[in-house]
Amino acid sequence: MKPRLDAARRLLRRMMNGRPYENLVEVRVSRSDILHNLNVFKKQNPHIAVAPVLKSNAYGHGLAEVGKMLDREQAPFFCVDSFFEALTLRNEGVRSPILVIGYTPLKNILQNRLADIAFCIIGIDELEEAVQKIKKPTKIHLKVDTGMHRHGIMPEEIEKAAVLIRSNTYIELEGIYSHLADADTPDSPHTKTQIERWNAAVRQFRTAFPGIRYFHCAATAGSVYLPEMEGNVMRLGIGLYGIDTTSKKLGLRPALELHTSIASLRTVLSGESVGYNATFKAGRDIVVASIPAGYNEGVDRRLSNKGFVLVRGTPCPIVGRVSMNITSIDVSSVTGTKTKEPVVIVSKDPRAPNSVEKIAATCGTIPYEILVHIPAHLRRVVV
């Protein structure tokens, strides 16, 4: 039985690799927009290297797709959250250095066989254990808690950390880093305090370890503070994908669109309802289309009776509850709508009512959440 099962699996893999099917929902990612956004930040501070952040499936844009896209851009390193993401990039042939910026169980660090990979250490207890058990050359970046109070050694623990690191010659302190808690608030006193603590920590580490290569604290929003900060790298996350959280408004270009097509059409008469719980009742006769995408495909349920999609560039309101795999839309304003017509669920036009930022505002959340909740199983197509 097992040989037959293995043969069936091999056949399925060949079919999937050939992709002999028409996908219902497609994520389109613009290479030119992502490269544009990357170059905006490179030009803003030419003396600061830019490290793309590819964690959480590249903020919904596709880990492998974006990794391959940026592999020749000479980044100091790519930031991922987990060892699994690092493995995925290497399995896809991505060769750029990788920094695993999230918490990594020490077992994964000890068993690592990947080249050009560094791990972040997020606390003094973790550092103590690593120093005891690491027996082969390992690169680390050590986090300093400057005021976010999630991860990191405290400033008063820097001397202890230095002694620990020196005690294990297999450990290379390649970098130190921190994170700003309130960088998107203009003139934030909290940010200024964090920068002061960060600069002091950098000076202390530079004295203790003259060979440290990387110092990074600023992310997208914090990039406006780079002239005030000690460091030589910034981590570019949400800004890489075209969402501007800085106070400068840099002309970034959203890079992602979510596409599907109309599956069915029907006339709904005045007074009739649409969808679960009859939350929508037509005030007049309307034409309602269904699309084969619901909250499993990234259409946020909070858009029920509030959101929009685009048909022929015309905003069409979502009517009724967003279902697991189906969403109903009112296409009455689009003359002669037909089945199989293209529908843009998420638009990369910032002015559109279904842009990532406007969807986030409608849902009472942030663009990050909308993007990372676009499921990984959907096909990503680089355009």
- The pLDDT assigned to 35 comes to 98
Q: What is the per-residue pLDDT for 248?
A: 84
pLDDT at site 10? 65
pTM (two decimals) = 0.92
| Assigned token pair, 42 | 């490179």
Amino acid 16: pLDDT = 60
Half-sphere exposure for 191 (CA within 13 Å, toward CB): 20
pLDDT of 365: 98
- Identify the pLDDT of residue 249: 85
Task: Report the distance separating Cα 52 and Cα 98, nearest Å.
Answer: 10
Under 8 Å between Cβ of 368 and 238: yes
Rg (CA), the chain: 24
- Specify burial of residue 234 (Cβ count, 10 A radius: 0-12, 13-18, 19+): buried
Query: 212 - beta bridge partners?
Result: none
Residue 67 has what pLDDT?
98
CA-to-CA distance for 341 and 331, rounded, in angstroms? 11
Domains and CATH numbers, the chain: 31-241 (3.20.20.10), 256-347+349-382 (2.40.37.10)
Residue 2's pLDDT is: 56
Which class for 365: exposed (0-12), middle (13-18), buried (19 or more C-beta within 10 A)? middle
Q: Which of 308, 317, 323, 248 is nearest to 283 (CA)?
A: 317
**pLDDT value, residue 303:** 98
How do residues 345-367 score in pLDDT, each as one tens digit?
999 999 999 999 999 999 999 99
Residue 51's pLDDT is what? 98
Confidence at residue 62, expressed as pLDDT on a 0 to 100 scale: 98
pLDDT of residue 13: 65
Tokens of 151: 């991860």
Q: What parts of the chain have a pLDDT lower than 50?
A: none
pLDDT of residue 194: 97
